[in-house]
Chain A
C-alpha cells in the first residue's frame, strides 16, 4: 500500500506530532499559565499489570490514563481516543474481562489487573469471531470506533450470558436473550459517526447465534 519513496505511514506522522505535543507540556510551561498549579511534585510512580497476556512494568506520571498508557507508552494504538470523556466508547477495553472506558481511569489504579485490547482479542491471521463477523457484515466504514465497538460487543454477549439485565429487558428476573433491541441498548455507550449500527447488531447476532 505504501509508496516506497514516502516510507512512513499516516500513523507515524500522527504519533510524531503527538510526541512533540507531549514534549511541549513541561512543568515550566505549566507554571506560565495564569492560574498556577498547586505545588505538587508529579514524580512518576511504578505500576505493573498484564496487557494481552504480557506482564508490563511502567513508571508513569499519576495523570496518565489507562488509554494513554496503552497508546503512548506501550504503543498499542488499536485502542482509540475519541472524546476522552467517556461519551463515545472508542477507548473501550476489557479489564479483568469487564468492559470499561480506558480514558476515564488512571493507569496507576490498575496494579495487577489483566487488560485486553483489540490487539489481544485476535490477529490479522487469527481473527476473533467478532472481528470476522464485523468484516462479513460491514460493521464499520471509517473504522475509528471499531476497536471499541468490538471490545464492547464481545463483553455485551458475555454480560447477557452472565445474567446481567438491561434497561430494555421486559422481565429483570428472567434469562436475557441477545435480541436486536437488547444489543442496541447495551451498545449505547459506543458511538459510530458513520452510522454502522445496523450492521454491528447483525455481526453481534451472528456471533451470539454461533456461540449458543
Chain B
C-alpha cells in the first residue's frame, strides 16, 4: 500500500472543501472496497479524510412521508431498519443479498453507491484497463466476459456496477443528497448518479471534485409487491450475474430495474409500458440497445427468465 496522510473530518462541508483542495485526497467511510483496492495499488490516495465521525448515521422520516438515510448508515442497519423492512422491502432484500455479514456491518450507504467495478481486468494490474489506467485499452473486450456488461457499455469498457443496493434504490426512485466544497447542496436522482463509460470509463459518477454524499432520500412508499431476485454462481456471498428489483402493482405493471448487466442499475421507464405483454416484450424493450459478447449473451435470456420468475412470484405473493 502506498503511503498516505490521514485526518478526521469535522463536518461534511469541511470534508468536501478539503477533498477538493488536497491533491489525491479521498474520503474513507467503511473502507471495505477502498482499502482492498489500496492494497492492490489500484487506488493510491495521498490523503484520506475519515468521515466516520460525522454523525450521518441516522434514518429519519422526511416531511412528505419518505425516508432520509444518512450516508454513513451501515448496510446491516439499513436492511434491519423497521421502516425499511415494512415500506421498502425490496431495499432490505437487496442489501441482504449482497456481500457477507462482516462486510455489511462495515459498508456504508454512500460507500455502497460509490464502490468500484469487480471486473477482473480492473483488478489485474498486469493488464490494460481504461477504467484503472485511462487510455491503456480494455482487456475485457475479447477476453473472458461471462460476468460483464451487455448494455450501456462502450468500446472502451464493458464493466458492470456491482451494487445490489443501488438496483433497489433505482426502482424506488431514490435521490442522492450532496454538499460541495462551496457548501452548496443538491439532490441527484439516482438514475443520474452513475454515468455510462463512453470514452472515459475512469469516471464512474457525475459527482464533482470534492462533492460529498450526505444522505440518500427515498420518496414516500409506493405500495405494491416488492421483490429482489438475484441470480449468481453461489447461493451466498457472490456478485450477481443478473438481479431484478421490482415493485409490482396488482395489475402486473410496475417498476423493474435490472442489476449485473450494465455500468449502472438498468431501468428504462418507457419499457415498463410493455410489462402487460409479458416478460419477453418487456425485456426486448429494456435491452433493445444491448451489445452482448458471445460469452455473456446468456444474460439476455437470464434477464427475461428472472423477470418472468419475479412476475410469477408477485402473482402468488
- A-side residues, CB < 8 A to B, are 30, 37-38, 40-42, 45, 61-63, 65, 84-86, 89, 92, 98-101, 104-106, 108-109, 111, 152, 155-156, 159, 162-167, 169, 172-173, 184-190
Q: B160-202: contact bitstring with A at CB < 8 Å (1 yes, 0 no)?
A: 0000000000000000000000000000000000000000000
Assess whether A167 is in contact with B97, with CB atoms less than 8 Å apart. yes
A172 CA / B102 CA spacing, docked (Å) = 19
Q: Which residues of B contact A159 (CB under 8 A)?
A: 76, 101
A100 pairs with B97, CB closer than 8 A: no
Contacts of B99 in A (CB 8 A): 189
A189 to chain B, nearest CB (A): 3
Query: Chain B: residues with CB nearer than 8 A to chain A?
Result: 1-6, 8, 24, 28, 31-32, 35-36, 39, 44, 46-48, 50, 52, 76, 79-80, 85-86, 89, 92-93, 96-97, 99-103, 105-106, 235-237
Contact indicator A62/B105 (Cβ below 8 Å)? no
Question: What's the dominant secondary structure at chain B's contact region?
Answer: mixed
Query: In the complex, what residues of A have CB within 8 A of residue B100's CB?
Result: 86, 89, 188-190
B103 touches A101 (CB 8 A): yes
Docked complex Cα distance between A159 and B79 (Å): 12
Which residue on B lies nearest to A102, using beta carbons? B102
Residues of B within 8 A of A63 (CB): 1, 3-4
- A189 and B36 contacting across the interface, CB-CB below 8 Å: no
Whether the Cβ atoms of B106 and A100 lie closer than 8 Å is yes
From A191, which residue of chain B is reached at the shortest CB distance?
B237
Are A167 and B96 in contact (CB-based, < 8 A)? yes
Q: Roughly how many angstroms separate A181 CA and B224 CA in the complex, as a whole number?
A: 28
| Separation of A169 and B46 alpha carbons in the complex (Å) | 43
New A-B pairs, 17, CB < 8 Å, besides A38-B2, A41-B3, A100-B106: A37-B44, A38-B46, A61-B3, A63-B1, A63-B3, A63-B4, A85-B36, A86-B36, A86-B103, A104-B32, A105-B106, A152-B102, A166-B96, A169-B96, A172-B92, A186-B101, A189-B103
What's the Cα separation between A70 and B57 when bound, in Å?
27
Residues of chain B with a CB closer than 8 A to A167's CB: 93, 96-97, 236
A residues less than 8 Å from B106 (CB atoms): 100-101, 104-105
- A85:B5 contact, CB within 8 angstroms: no
* Contacting pair B28 A40 (CB below 8 A): no
Given the known A-B contacts A40-B4, A167-B236, are A99 and B101 also in contact in the complex, defined by CB atoms under 8 Å? yes
Interchain Cβ contacts under 8 Å between A and B, 7 examples: A37-B3, A40-B47, A89-B100, A99-B102, A101-B32, A172-B89, A188-B237
Chain B min CB distance to A123 (Å) = 24
Closest 6 CB pairs of A and B: A189-B100, A188-B236, A42-B3, A188-B237, A62-B6, A164-B80
Closest CB-CB distance, A89 to chain B, in whole Å?
6
Q: Are B80 and A86 in contact (CB-based, < 8 A)?
A: no
Q: Is the CB of A65 within 8 A of B102?
A: no
User: A85-B39, A167-B97, A172-B89 are contacts. A40–B103 as well, Cβ < 8 Å?
Assistant: no
Query: How distant is the Cα of A166 from the Cα of B206 in the complex, in angstroms?
Result: 33
What residues on A are CB-neighbors of B48 within 8 Å? 62, 106
- Once bound together, how far apart are the Cα atoms of A51 and B44, in whole Å? 30
